[in-house]
Amino acid sequence: MNSEEFKNQVVLITGASAGIGAAAAIAFGAGGAHVIVHYNSRRDAAAQVVKEIEAAGGSGEIVQADLSHPEGVNTLTAWLKGRDVDILVNNAGSLVRRSRVLEFTPELMEQVLYLNFTSAFFIAQAVLPGMVARKYGAIVNISSVAARNGGGLGALGYAASKAALSAMTKNMAKEFAPSGIRVNTVSPGTIDTDYHRTFSTEQMLNGVKAATPMGRLGTSEEVADAIIFLCSDGARFIQGQAIEVNGGFLMV
């Protein structure tokens, strides 16, 4: 990557205190960007990510909001008013907890859908007017292999929300392409992060490794590389696409 690929650009990454979001934030920093590191509860970790962004050659700041509820999304969108965002990475998301179909509650479904899908829509809606005015911008939504294969047992809400996010990507890509804005998706498989260590057993992870042609889990940095590419000039004619980063786990 050109060391100044993203110089003077402002990048907002949700859920950037750890994992894929943190890796992407640091990578954008290495390209000279100013990165807004959103977090929910890990303030110290988010502050550490900013230090790593600065060490890489960029600049950054942190902002807190709970994106699983309308109030938190309203807090973030209000904070964004008057700020130009050139690149948005909608990365925040979680399964919240595994729940079989007959045990799913309305409250859990609402929380999962809001965190993984609805919040991403309203955050995009908040930054898009500025992108349209400048005739420039890139949005990358972080989906999941679950959007294509339905996810594991107990992950129905998560899988459905990620499928909705993938559909949103294509619709926004059609609407905003004439304004010079590119909207794409990165769809990770099972990545070696705290997320999967929280919601998956060792047996489950070993099963994924066995079913993956490359024989291992992915890394946050490998997903971050795909995000960086989609926001770079090298992807200038890529629009409305989903880049699958799963080591060959799902090829069809």
Active-site annotation, residues: 158
21 neighbors 248 (Cβ within 8 angstroms): no
Measured in residues, the chain has a length of: 252
Measured at the alpha carbon of residue 177, what is the angle toward residues 131 and 133, in degrees to the nearest 5?
Answer: 25
Residue type, 138: A
Where are the strands (E) in the chain, listed by range? 10-13, 34-39, 59-64, 87-90, 137-142, 181-188, 242-245
Pairing of strands 10-13, 137-142: unpaired
- Which residue, among 56, 50, 57, has the nearest Cα to 16 in the 3D structure? 50
Q: Distances in Å between the alpha carbon of 42 and those of 62, 91, 187?
A: 11, 15, 24
Residue type, 250: L
Helix (H, G, I), strand (E, B) or coil at 131: helix
